């Protein structure tokens, strides 16, 4: 599975300077592939190709771009099992989850971009003139390892749909699935230079993209700290920056909800993708009187989780992605114990019977207070903090007492009551009563969870400039 070339200007090309990195299977802790790490020179080549291609691709017709998107969609459908397996091997997502969620949602983003493009009005009359929406230009896209193809697709699909060209840097930890997408792009006939891929690390390739003077926009998904660095590098060239960063989402369970059911569902929602999910509801807020019911329901939910080989279809939770991620999660679990939270389930160390792989024990803490580290820091692992409240106003206050604002969750048997609480949560997305994923609705954060939006028409318009043209009202 070695892939030592980059996709630049319509062909696979050798890196400027040979330097490789092993790709580690987190279930075995063993290297199973290698990729090349790029350099500033590789980014320069990719940007040059993208800039040249933009001159013609930006004026391609809607029908031409729709045809291209449909060929990409067909290619992804044909290779869905291969894409899912690559993600299972590179970042540990159980194969069932990788197929039904990781790969399938990536496909959804291309389908959604095609749906928006088919009816989008790039020109419309307004006052004494017209408003023209045009592709912003060359887009540098930097994506993470936790949802490798979801984040790639949510950026690449609208960029291509709007007429932009792309230089993509996937995570060096989980790069193989994106390399398969580059193959799909090539087979679909993406014009040379429209889509370019350079593997590499953040300090080298990521920073070269963020600071490049010929890149018009950078879209970044990752940690808040890295996002700040990207924004600072981009500021010198005043390029547009769209960011989807960290989260510490609250799940407010109101007193009229079925507490046991809501807690059980909240545990599983928190553990989606092994807890390596930026919008995971990692802070569960319950009425103080429901403490014992909540703890028992949480224990019961944890007992249903099946840890094991992520290639086994019966496995529901795989390993964390890497040794550093495992170490970080262990440190934060220990901090919860040291700061006096009640350990309801799980704890430090590997789960029983799993002596190899970066597996963490699904953990639930109770009696968590707002100042504890586990209540404030993004853990990015299967760790849930249960916090008690005495009034709905207190619950909302605690929910909003965070530098993050990516998502919120509310559970109530009264939908209007849930909606009223949801309106008070300072976050870019609020899920009521277990609502599912919707690819057409905008996704993005308030506060230090980022700026800009992805998905649907909002994500589409991130890649467009707005031009006012006067004197043509009667044209």
Residues 233-253: tens digit of each pLDDT: 999 999 999 999 999 999 999
For 124, phi then psi, to 5°, come to: -155, 150
**Residue 244 catalytic?**
yes
Q: Is the dihedral of CA 142, 178, 99, 85 positive or negative?
A: negative
Report the mean per-residue pLDDT for the chain: 97
**Nearest-angstrom CA–CA distance, 412 and 287:** 12
pLDDT tops 60 at residue 473: no
* pLDDT score recorded for residue 179: 98
Catalytic residue, chosen from 207, 278, 454, 461, is 278
Residues 30-82: tens digit of each pLDDT: 999 999 999 999 999 999 999 999 999 999 999 999 999 999 999 999 999 99
For 41, phi then psi, to 5°, come to: -65, -35
Region 169-189 average pLDDT:
98
pLDDT tops 80 at residue 472: no
* pLDDT score recorded for residue 1: 63
Reported as a pLDDT band with limits 50, 70 and 90, residue 414 is: very high
pLDDT tops 70 at residue 18: yes
Catalytic residue, chosen from 244, 265, 454, 461, is 244
Domains of the chain and CATH, by start:
6-245+448-470 (3.40.605.10), 250-438 (3.40.309.10)
Question: Could you tell me what percent of the chain has a pLDDT over 70?
Answer: 99
pLDDT tops 70 at residue 475: no
Residues 86-120: tens digit of each pLDDT: 999 999 999 999 999 999 999 999 999 999 999 99
Helix 291-303 / helix 259-270 crossing angle, nearest 10 deg: 50
* pLDDT score recorded for residue 474: 55
pLDDT tops 80 at residue 206: yes
**Residue 278 catalytic?**
yes
Region 434-454 average pLDDT:
95
Reported as a pLDDT band with limits 50, 70 and 90, residue 437 is: confident
């Amino acid at each position: 599975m070695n892939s030592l070339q980059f996709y630049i200007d319509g062909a696979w090309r050798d890196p400027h300077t040979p330097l490789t990195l092993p790709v580690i299977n987190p279930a075995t802790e063993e290297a199973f592939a290698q990729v090349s790490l790029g350099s500033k020179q590789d980014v320069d080549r990719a940007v040059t190709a993208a800039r040249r291609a933009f001159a013609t691709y930006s004026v391609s017709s809607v029908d031409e771009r729709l045809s291209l998107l449909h060929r990409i969609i067909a290619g992804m459908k044909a290779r869905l099992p291969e894409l899912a397996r690559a993600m299972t091997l590179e970042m540990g997502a159980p194969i069932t989850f990788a197929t039904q969620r990781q790969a399938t949602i990536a496909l959804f983003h291309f389908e959604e971009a095609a749906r928006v493009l088919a009816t989008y009005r790039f020109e419309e009359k307004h006052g004494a003139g017209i408003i023209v929406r045009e592709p912003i230009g060359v887009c540098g896209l930097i994506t993470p390892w936790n949802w490798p193809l979801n984040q790639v697709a949510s950026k690449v699909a609208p960029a291509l749909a709007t007429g932009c060209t792309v230089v993509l840097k996937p995570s060096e930890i989980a790069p193989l699935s994106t390399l398969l997408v580059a193959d799909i792009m090539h087979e679909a006939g993406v014009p040379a230079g429209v889509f370019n891929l350079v593997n590499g690390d953040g300090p080298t390739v990521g920073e070269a993209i963020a600071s490049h003077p010929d890149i018009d926009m950078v879209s970044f998904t990752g940690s808040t700290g890295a996002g700040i660095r990207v924004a600072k590098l981009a500021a010198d060239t005043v390029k547009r920056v769209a960011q989807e960063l960290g989260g510490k989402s609250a799940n407010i369970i109101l007193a009229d909800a079925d507490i046991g059911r809501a807690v059980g569902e909240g545990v599983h929602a928190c553990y989606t993708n092994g807890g390596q999910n930026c919008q995971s509801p990692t802070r569960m807020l319950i009425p103080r009187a429901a403490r014992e019911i909540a703890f028992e329901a949480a224990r019961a939910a944890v007992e249903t989780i099946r840890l094991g080989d992520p290639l086994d279809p019966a496995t529901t939770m795989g390993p964390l992605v890497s040794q550093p991620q495992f170490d970080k999660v262990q440190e934060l679990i220990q901090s919860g114990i040291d700061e006096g939270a009640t350990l309801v389930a799980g704890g430090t160390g590997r789960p029983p019977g799993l002596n190899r792989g970066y597996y963490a024990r699904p953990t639930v803490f109770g009696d968590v207070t707002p100042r504890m580290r586990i209540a404030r820091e993004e853990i990015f692992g299967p760790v849930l903090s249960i916090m008690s409240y005495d009034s709905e106003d207190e619950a909302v206050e605690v929910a909003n007492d965070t530098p993050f604002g990516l998502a919120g969750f509310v559970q109530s048997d009264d939908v209007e009551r849930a909606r009223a609480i949801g309106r008070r949560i300072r976050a870019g997305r609020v899920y009521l009563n277990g609502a599912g994923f919707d690819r057409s609705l905008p996704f993005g954060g308030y506060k230090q969870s980022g700026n800009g939006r992805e998905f649907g028409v909002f994500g589409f318009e991130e890649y467009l400039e707005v031009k006012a043209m006067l004197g043509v009202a009667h044209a």
